[in-house]
Amino acid sequence: MSEGRGLISLSADAVVVGAGIVGLAVAYYLARRGLSVVVFDKGYVGGGSSTRNAGRYRVHFGNRENTEFAIRAIRKLESLSNELGWNGIFERPGYLWLTRRKEVLESYERLNEQLWKPLGIPVQILTTDELKDRFPYINTKGIIGAVFGPQDGAFHHDYIIMGYYTKALDLGVKIFEFSEVKNVGIESGRVVSVSSSGVFARTRNVVFAAGAWTGELMRELLGIDLPIRPVRREIGITEPVRPLINTYIIDAETNLYIGQTMRGEILGSIELEGGEGFLPYGNTLSWLTAWAREAVKLIPSLRNIRVMRIWSGYYEMTPDHSHIMGRLDTWPEGVYVLSGFSGHGFMFGPYAAELLVKYMLDGVVDPLMKPFLPDRFITGNLIKELLVI
């Protein structure tokens, strides 16, 4: 590494753009295989969506590709406290999908019979009486049934981010914060460098793991068109109260989701129309009032609780609500992507990172990775994922 007139110049086997869960995990697994790795982030470690999320995970998705991926990804996620040496504060209170229409409940029943049961992750279909019995704090007016997935759970993102960050540093990964990638050098059809205004890295490999910024960045720097677009999502947390909500509730009709943390805070959101683009981080009164109104309607005992903090982050959305991993032969040699998780990137990120590294270093396209290659936007072989929260 050399420094001259304020510019740091160095060489690395690989450069990772983005220090969120995805970029940090990729950097760590590359370094564990003996590569020298540099990470650039235009802000601070974890400052993107990776510390702005709800901290929930599920194995239940609306199609085979994502469900099979999720089963393996959740197994990986739940093993991270051991692997990283930081307690990820995992718990499994399950997911509870409330339904207000017969056809919606029937579609869950079909998914259960045709997909979830055969894959060993059956859900419990609850009548309203069973719902009242097991979750007495829920106002069941208008609800005709529910689906309970006991395999689904929660984690604390901060500790997993810190785990990857510290492990990566231990292996010699160099992480440059406040260092926005401005240029990717290409010579004879392959990557030769990646640079920000303060750091120049000679390298033959670059992984774009820049979350919601990935689409825009790859287009600007390389002319590569990937359909990853940002959508701002708002979220909030209340003061801590005694244990009340013993699962993670999703109202499929009002788009409300709500749960309780181990500390007792009520955490959740309501998804409203709009939010497309890089809207400023912040919150809207219409979101706050809608969230409060629907939360109290569903769980009347929340009536006098105080909201402590609200914030927002970007979903990195793709047209089929599924992530993109790997590369295309038409791209410059050495360019890879891992992004577009469409609202479930924290739970998928660690496992996806491991598979991407296997692909980069061993040339192995794992069968679980195959459906998520970027070529699906050329062949039109899109994934049909409807269970997005």
Ligand X SMILES: Cc1cc2nc3c(=O)[nH]c(=O)nc-3n(C[C@H](O)[C@H](O)[C@H](O)COP(=O)(O)OP(=O)(O)OC[C@H]3O[C@@H](n4cnc5c(N)ncnc54)[C@H](O)[C@@H]3O)c2cc1C
- Cβ within 8 Å of residue 368, ≥6 positions away: 68, 69, 72, 355
E-assigned strand segments in 271-387: 307-317, 324-326, 335-339
- The angle, 0 to 180 degrees and rounded to 10, between the axes of the packed helices 345-362 and 157-170 is 30
Verify binding: residue 258, ligand X, rule CB under 6 A: no
**Binding string, 282-321, against ligand X, x = CB under 6 A?**
-------------------------------xxxx-----
Strands 199-202 and 7-11, how do they pair?
parallel
User: Which two structure tokens, joined as six digits, stand for 367?
Assistant: 């069968």
Distance CA 45, CA 175 (A): 9
Span from 26-34, 54-62, 279-287, 293-301 in contact with ligand X (CB under 6 A): 54-62
Please report the sign of the dihedral spanned by the C-alpha atoms of residue 70, residue 72, residue 73, residue 74.
positive
Q: By CB neighbour count within 10 A (0-12 exposed, 13-18 middle, 19+ buried), where does 77 fall? A: buried
Verify binding: residue 95, ligand X, rule CB under 6 A: no
Our CB check for ligand X shows the closer of 94 and 345 to be 345
Minimum Å gap between C-beta 373 and ligand X is 17
Minimum Å gap between C-beta 386 and ligand X is 17
Verify binding: residue 40, ligand X, rule CB under 6 A: yes
Span from 17-25, 98-106, 121-129, 301-309 in contact with ligand X (CB under 6 A): 17-25
Q: Binding residue for ligand X (CB under 6 A) from 164, 344, 357, 359?
A: 344
Q: Binding residue for ligand X (CB under 6 A) from 164, 287, 341, 351?
A: 341
The three-point CA angle 12-20-347 to 5° equals 120
Verify binding: residue 42, ligand X, rule CB under 6 A: yes
User: Which two structure tokens, joined as six digits, stand for 246?
Assistant: 């013993």
Our CB check for ligand X shows the closer of 123 and 217 to be 217
Verify binding: residue 47, ligand X, rule CB under 6 A: yes
Distance CA 333, CA 148 (A): 46
- Write out the binding residues for ligand X, residues 352-381 only, by CB under 6 A: none
Minimum Å gap between C-beta 130 and ligand X is 26
> Which residues sit at the interface with ligand X, rule CB under 6 A?
17-23, 40-43, 47-50, 52-57, 180-181, 209-213, 217, 233, 235, 313-316, 339, 341, 343-347, 349
